[in-house]
Amino acid sequence: MDERSIKKIIEDYTLRELQQYSSLILFNFDATNTFIKQFKSDHDSHQFYKNVIFWYINKFNVFPESILTFDFPLNDGGLGDRFVLTSNLLFTINSFSHVLNSQINLYVKLHQWQNPELEILANNFYDVIDFFHFKRPKHKILSHKINNSKPFEECERSIFKKNKIFNDHHKKYWESGTYWPMNVELKPKTIITFMFYLIDDDGTFIGHGGDEFKSITLKMLNEFEKIKNKFSNLNFVKLEDLNFAKNVELLSKSHFLISSEGMWTHLSRAMKIDTIAYTTTTEFEIEFNKQGHFCSGNFYKFLEEIETKCTSLAK
């Protein structure tokens, strides 16, 4: 945002808002005499408040009233979507180390179109962090429970609009697969984990289906089973459909994960487990392969990579 636009917005603040926001900014910085001198305003207190706020917005590209207040859709969106959103929020909160507290507005009600089996039960945002097995941040996070639902897309869009730091971390996740550190202890590798979203010949999803771009048919699954049978000396273990804690345990001792793109490929990458993913979405293929993992929308290339990995492991 250009300086003229910032100044125009600041002019709309009430005196009370000017006092409140400037005080908050000064309180959370080492406000020495030298630091304060940069806001000199020839004994005009109103201008002093504006100078402080202008400096803050111009430096951090966020507005003081919305700096660390975020809406979080506890029970809307895919599990993987909420996993990534939680990770990016933690990075954002951590980036503002000068701020004492942050607040998450936790929309706890299950959205009307949401699968009840994907519901997360949480009293505060720390419960969400623990559910996903992320490490807790040092900074205090306040939670405001709202007994209502809010669409995932709306929550994420509002954060993108307000916070440049969040945008930067989202871009970093997309480009390099950077997730907030996990609270997980990796164990000796003894298994190979796998998970697929399945679709019937008539287009009907089987079980907990994802979407047509990352689901495989029963015929394709049979081709994968042939590879499993070929390497009978290796221990293949299917991940649970919805048991997050169990899947963390399984992945912690997995050589690599074979899976449809989705929640479990987020988790495996966050845990730094080699991942072989299937999706026909080109941007996801590019994302995975750029990050040092493997992804293909060509199922036979996907199978070739699995066989290559298994052959190397079986030696």
User: Is the domain of 199 the same as that of 303?
Assistant: yes
Degrees, nearest 5: CA angle 271-76-143: 80
User: Is the domain of 207 the same as that of 104?
Assistant: no
User: Is the domain of 45 the same as that of 79?
Assistant: no
Is residue 257 in some structural domain?
yes
Q: What average pLDDT does this structure show over 141-153?
A: 91
Residue type, 206: I
DSSP bridge pairs for 72: 106
Domain that holds residue 8: 3-64
pLDDT at 30 over 70: no
pLDDT at site 94: 86
**pLDDT by residue (tens digit) across 214-248?**
999 999 999 999 999 999 999 999 999 889 999 99
d(CA 274, CA 256): 5
User: Is the domain of 39 the same as that of 94?
Assistant: no
Q: What average pLDDT does this structure show over 29-38?
A: 82
User: Is the domain of 35 the same as that of 106?
Assistant: no
* Domain end marker among 64, 84, 100: 64
Q: Provide the domain count of the chain.
A: 3
Degrees, nearest 5: CA angle 235-276-292: 125
Query: What is the dihedral angle through the alpha carbons of 34, 38, 44, 46, rounded to the nearest 10 degrees?
Result: -110
Is residue 265 in some structural domain?
yes
Is residue 305 in some structural domain?
yes
pLDDT at 100 over 60: no
- Which residues, other chains included, contact 194 with Cβ-Cβ below 8 Å and sequence gap of 6+? 224, 236, 237, 238, 239, 257, 258, 259
pLDDT at 144 over 70: yes
Is residue 218 in some structural domain?
yes
Given pLDDT bands bounded at 50, 70 and 90, which one contains residue 170?
confident
User: Is the domain of 254 the same as that of 161?
Assistant: no
Is residue 181 in some structural domain?
no
Residue type, 200: D
User: Is the domain of 30 the same as that of 120?
Assistant: no
Given pLDDT bands bounded at 50, 70 and 90, which one contains residue 162?
low
**pLDDT by residue (tens digit) across 246-297?**
999 999 999 999 999 999 999 999 999 999 999 999 999 999 999 999 999 9
User: Is the domain of 208 the same as that of 251?
Assistant: yes
pLDDT at site 205: 78
User: Is the domain of 231 the same as that of 146?
Assistant: no
d(CA 214, CA 79): 15
**pLDDT by residue (tens digit) across 187-211?**
999 999 999 999 987 778 777 656 8
Query: Which of 40-49, 125-134, 139-148 reaches the highest mean pLDDT?
Result: 125-134
User: Is the domain of 248 the same as that of 212?
Assistant: yes
* Domain end marker among 20, 49, 64: 64
Is residue 223 in some structural domain?
yes
DSSP bridge pairs for 146: 107
Is residue 184 in some structural domain?
no
Report which of 253, 300, 303, 252 is spatially closest to residue 276, judged by C-alpha positions.
Answer: 303
d(CA 35, CA 69): 26
User: Is the domain of 128 the same as that of 232?
Assistant: no
